[in-house]
Amino acid sequence: MAGVCRGAVVALLAVALGTLVGGCGGPGGNPPEAVAQLMDCGPNLGALDYPEGLGIGKTGDLLIADTWNHRIVRAGPNCDVVGAFGEAGVEPGKLECPRSLAVDRTGHVYVVDAWNHRVEKFDGNGRFVMSLGGQGGPWGNDEADGKFSIPYGVAVDSQGHIFVSDFNNNRLQMFGIRGKFVMKWGTEGRQDGQFSHPAGLAIDSNDRLYVADLGNHRVQRFVIVEGDKGFEAKFDGKWGKEGREPGEFSGPYDVCVDKEDNVYVVDFWNHRIQKFTPGGDLLWVYGERGGEKGQFELPLSVAVDDGGAIYVSDWGNNRIQKLAPAS
């Protein structure tokens, strides 16, 4: 998606809004008072230009893929911007439209460097470590191992295995801890284990992999097993279909998992976030279309910290919103 800095104000807002669908107690709790911090749109530190992917760092800080500024921005617990790393370029350690990111158990940060068709690994201080992948065929249908056509999502399991959604090739690829290609799976289609432009990825506490299967309007889950012939991705369930009702999706772009393995899905065209149990039962629906607190315009990414606070990249409003945990 193209982003144009329109001189808008970027807001980091902490709000407590949500619609109870089932479970989690009643909606009548006492939410914390809303707080806000504003940032101007632009290239300066403390400003964003149509941010996309989000992640939580090892120390609890929020990491933001500031896509059209070609960098990763770091924000503290009070939504104060405290640093950034990365700059535009094609050399190792530089970025061209970073789309999403993941943090492993040691604090290393993996960034999907979309227009360079690779994933870049940085240490917790933003120092470049390595690249993996590279550009394959420009229009998808490229079967080359380790090559991408506009990668989108990234996730890292407890063993350090790296998973990347190869968006235009309608497949997922798995790499070892040192970036060596391990395996791939998926083709274009609607059957179990097939994809239509897979986007965001997440790993739960049992190393199960969740995939936002964007074009199929669903979430798929896989278990990675190792046998005599190497690794294999086994289909482990799915939920969702195209629609506007609670539990349905219109363009699920991203997925994340909290410490209780609840699953949060970005429902892009429905302008909302939906929360599910690990088994796919709907718990909460957050947001509706608009520009006020707790409303969204084409949200793209979601992350949840250890305290249950929910961060959303509200792309169409050019801001990040922070939602207090549902009570």
Highest mean pLDDT among 40-44, 140-144, 195-199: 195-199
Confidence of residue 4 (pLDDT cuts 50, 70, 90): very low
Residue 87: strand, helix, or coil: coil
- Residue environment code for 88-121, b if the CB has 16+ CB neighbours within 10 A, otherwise e: eeeeebbbebbbbbbbbeeebbbbbbbbbbbbbb
Tokens of 184: 């791939």
Per-residue pLDDT of 177-235, as tens digits, reads 999 999 999 999 999 999 999 999 999 999 999 999 999 999 999 999 999 989 999 99
- Mean pLDDT along residues 288-302: 92
Determine the average pLDDT of the residues in 308-323: 90
- Alpha-carbon distance of 182 to 162, in angstroms, equals 9
Query: For the segment 48-99, what is each residue's pLDDT rounded down to a tens digit?
Result: 899 999 999 999 999 999 999 999 999 987 777 889 999 999 999 999 999 9
The backbone torsions φ and ψ at residue 214, rounded to the nearest 5 degrees and listed phi first, read: -55, -60
Put simply, whether the predicted model's pTM sits higher than 0.85 gets the answer: yes
